[in-house]
């Protein structure tokens, strides 16, 4: 008995259906991957924005520190040049008044900078999250549509 090979050919309709299903799955995956890539990019942009805000706050704080130290050195110069205790007391009093005023202005300015930075970061984070959520929802809908179409063909 000689065995003849069974020649079973896959019907064209089945191959076409399988090919379309694979293509739809690829499109759905590409959509999900695109949404994920956009979300990562948005997160990187958000991190960059936070770094910029932090840099601005740090620069402002360093500027205040430099001014305060410069004022202290100016006081020191005046004190060593003072001729009597009255002059020392006057320089010290003037310095304290000026520093109290400067500190008040610095605190107010710094508070505004921090508040603005926090509001900006929160606003950008909210926009980023809303955009990522919308893109993810679109990708999910694409996957669901592809799955629905594949199911209908069966």
Run means of pLDDT, 10 residues per run, the chain, 154 residues: 67 80 77 75 73 84 92 93 93 96 94 87 83 80 73 62
Mention every residue, 6+ apart, whose C-beta is less than 8 A from residue 149. Answer: 24
pLDDT value of residue 84: 92
Q: What is the pLDDT of residue 27?
A: 77
Read off the pTM.
0.56
Backbone angles phi, psi at 83, to 5 degrees: -95, -25
Domain residue ranges in the chain: 23-153
pLDDT at residue number 101: 96
pLDDT for 98 equals 96
């Amino acid at each position: 008995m000689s065995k003849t090979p069974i020649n079973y050919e896959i019907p064209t309709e089945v191959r076409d259906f399988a090919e379309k299903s694979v293509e739809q799955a690829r499109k759905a995956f590409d959509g999900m991957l695109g949404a994920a890539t956009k979300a990562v990019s948005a997160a990187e942009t958000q991190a960059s924005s936070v770094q910029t805000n932090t840099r601005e706050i740090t620069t402002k704080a360093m500027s205040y520190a430099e001014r305060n130290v410069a004022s202290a050195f100016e006081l020191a110069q005046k004190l060593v040049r003072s001729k009597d205790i009255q002059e020392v007391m006057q320089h010290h009093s003037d310095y304290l008044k000026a520093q109290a005023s400067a500190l008040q202005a610095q605190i107010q300015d710094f508070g505004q900078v921090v508040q603005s930075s926090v509001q900006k970061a929160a606003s950008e984070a909210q926009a980023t999250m809303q955009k990522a959520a919308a893109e993810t929802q679109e990708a999910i809908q694409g996957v669901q549509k592809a799955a629905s179409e594949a199911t209908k063909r069966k």
